[in-house]
Amino acid sequence: MAPKLGYWKIKGLVQPTRLLLEYLGEAYEERLYDRNDGDVWRNEKFKLGLDFPNLPYYIDGDVKLTQSMAILRYIADKHNMLGGCPKERAEISMLEGAILDIRYGVSRIAYNKEFETLKVDFLNQLPGMLKMFEDRLSHNTYLNGDKVTHPDFMLYDALDVNLPPIKNYLNSNRYIKWPLQGWSATFGGGDAPPK
């Protein structure tokens, strides 16, 4: 039986996991909850056998996980993508944190009614944040050297054209194009992209 990945019908926190699964060619069943499925989720959440019921969740046989990073790391670990020594694992963890700084920076302002004002400061800081990744990628094929690791999927925009399984997924009907954040976000929310 294929593992089950459950989340809201948005890109959100689980998109890097989807990209990693697609890259690996690992079959999975996706349980998507629409914006009006709050009652459905509340009815199901305590029946799934999850220790900490939450979205996203990932059920792979007797492994039942919640929390996006725990899920991503579990899948990466199953495929020997967490690094081969303490130094590599620490660098991968550092990359996760640096990417999450950007992601959380976007989320912090995306749900704020003052988005237009706050984005100016964020966009001023963004080039410096991205420069660190540019410097690292200038002498590496991937973020952590010559082997793809899960932080690459956290920063997938830099890679989607070069990885055929990701390109295929992005062109499939399973790819969720919108919303980027939750439906109530000032930026990246709603039912359709801005015109």
Binding annotation for glutathione = 7-8, 41-45, 54-55, 67-68
Provide the pairing of β-strand 29-33 with 57-60. unpaired
Identity of the residue numbered 101: D
Q: Which residues are annotated as a binding site?
A: 7-8, 41-45, 54-55, 67-68, 111
Mark the binding-site residues for substrate, compressed into ranges.
111
Strands 63-66, 29-33: pairing is unpaired
Task: Kindly give, in sequence order, each residue whose CB lies less than 8 Å from that of residue 69, ignoring residues fewer than 6 positions away.
Answer: 96
Residues 42 and 55 sit within 8 Å (Cβ to Cβ)? no
Structure tokens belonging to residue 77: 């670990």
